[in-house]
Amino acid sequence: MKFRNLSREVLSYLVVGMLTTLVNFAIYYPLIYAGMDYKLATTAAFIGAVIFAFISNKKFVFLSKKGFLGEFIRFMVGRGATYLLDIGSLIFLVEALGISEYVSKIWASILVVISNYLISKFWTFR
């Protein structure tokens, strides 16, 4: 039974994570294409994706019935940490390694998705 619940949770997190990543990319890439700096575009994409992710994770992944405010604060702190990981890895990949903003965003997103799951699972929605 425990494995079954974990499988449902992981599968639903993957689906919600993919949708959240799509929201993030749907905001980020048009802004980059329009000429916005990648750091500012990342920040705008982060805000949109975090709002979507909180509601989706609370309702569909972790099935949380707990109070909104406490989880929201923990979620925002956790996502703030992964925002720093996102922006830091983008700066490193783009400016230090010379990788394009488009490709760098994909690599940074992989790190962020894994980190977000661990933070949500073991801290935000525990």
pLDDT in tens, 9-31: 889 988 998 999 899 999 999 99
**Are residues 94 and 38 in contact, defined by beta-carbon separation less than 8 angstroms?**
yes
The token pair at 12 is 């639903």
The token pair at 50 is 């975090």
From CA 55, how far away is CA 50, in angstroms rounded?
A: 9
Mean pLDDT of 79-104: 95
**Are residues 119 and 112 in contact, defined by beta-carbon separation less than 8 angstroms?**
no
Q: Is the pLDDT of residue 3 over 80?
A: no
In angstroms, the Cα distances linking 50 to 7, 99, 114 are: 24, 25, 15
Which is more confident, 45 or 122?
Answer: 45
Res 4: pLDDT: 64
The domain limits of the chain are 2-124
Mean pLDDT of 111-119: 88
Average pLDDT, the chain: 90
pTM value is: 0.75
Query: How far from each other are the two terminal CA atoms of the chain, in whole angstroms?
Result: 18
Mean pLDDT of 85-98: 96
The token pair at 29 is 């890439």
- The one-character DSSP state at 106 is H
Q: Is the pLDDT of residue 73 over 80?
A: yes
The token pair at 123 is 């801290």
